[in-house]
Copies of this chain bind each other. A is one copy, B any other.
Amino acid sequence: MRFFSDNAAAACPQVLAAIAEANRLDTAYDGDAWSKRLDGALSALFETEVAALWVSTGTAANGLALATLCPPYGGIVCHRTAHIQVDECGGPEFYTGGARLLLAEGEGAKLTPETVDGLIADIRPEVHQVQARALSFTNASEYGCVYTPQETAALGALCRARGLGFHVDGARFANAVAGQGCAPADLSWRAGVDALSFGFTKNGGLSAECLVFFRPDLAEEARIRRKRAGHLLSKGRYLAAQILAMIEGDLWLANARAANAAASRLAEAAGGDRLLYPVEANEMFVRVSAAEAASLRAQGADFYDWGPGEARLVTSWDSDPAQVDALAAAIRAL
């Protein structure tokens, strides 16, 4: 009963099949047949013309997007607990050439127009202080909460008004879309998003993320930076094939729904009082005493502690229903 991360799950069979199918000589880098289909496939999915680049990690996708949206002397507004702040070892600073993360607050690891406005209002508009030039949030958030289309659009409006580039770290974007039951466009360009790190690895890929630009003019620079950063794989078709396999036939959505459903079952078992945040995607943060946590582990459950008296449980596309039911029962019995 392993619920410690979707980050380490197996790849789904269709992805492995697509890799095998792509295992033949083709043009190197992104000149192959698979890579060339990427713009079209993502444009269809998002119902607008986009430029789409495969990369192998979310940190790379985030770094490339942010370097394209923020100059070296600019600031990037993000949540104090954002992945780009706490889990990428300074990747944004490296990619941008020294931009600064400007940390805002918000419940459930979610920014709000108020917290962002407050942060920016404190910056003197002069050369002595780093000025905000971009905003980045994570959807689903680091606490498994989801920005709705309306919430996204409100921040998008703020970005336009302030002249900020707008990036979404979508390592679990599929889970966010599945949770909202909306169109991918509603959580991206229709809400003012300029660039999206669209994650596939956590959702059943082997190693594939898609950096989607809703302003396709930004993509040329990102393609150059991708090469320069060593992220232009010579056999890029294997990455493109993974993404295409997950998009075509809506596997990405089915996988995310499966993971979300498993989390919902666990949340139902936990009940409202235990939940630190509403479970809106595939992560659950719960209050458990040390004894309770030990009891769950004694029954075979594997998960992370997340602070004193708190635990994180993550479901994934391949969470075993029997294990989910067993864990749900164990939680109920606490």
Contacts and interface: CB of A to CB of B under 8 A. Distances in A.
Interface of A: 2, 5, 7-11, 16, 19-20, 23-28, 32, 55-63, 71-73, 86-91, 93-101, 127-131, 201-202, 206-207, 221, 223-235, 238
Contacts of A55: 230
B91 A100 contact: no
Contact of A234 (B7, B19, B26): B7
B57 A73 contact: no
A230 B91 contact: yes
A234 B16 contact: no
A207 B238 contact: yes
Contacts of A71: 221
A91 B226 CA distance: 10
B23 A88 contact: no
B9 A94 contact: no
Given A73-B224, A97-B98, 13 more contacts: A8-B27, A8-B28, A57-B233, A58-B230, A63-B229, A73-B221, A86-B129, A88-B227, A88-B228, A89-B128, A90-B100, A91-B229, A93-B99
Contacts of A238: 11, 206-207
A234 B24 CA distance: 26
B233 A130 contact: no
Nearest to A60: B230
B225 A73 contact: yes
9 contacts: A10-B23, A10-B25, A56-B207, A59-B230, A60-B231, A94-B228, A128-B227, A201-B234, A202-B234
A201 B63 CA distance: 25
B8 A235 contact: yes
B230 A231 contact: yes
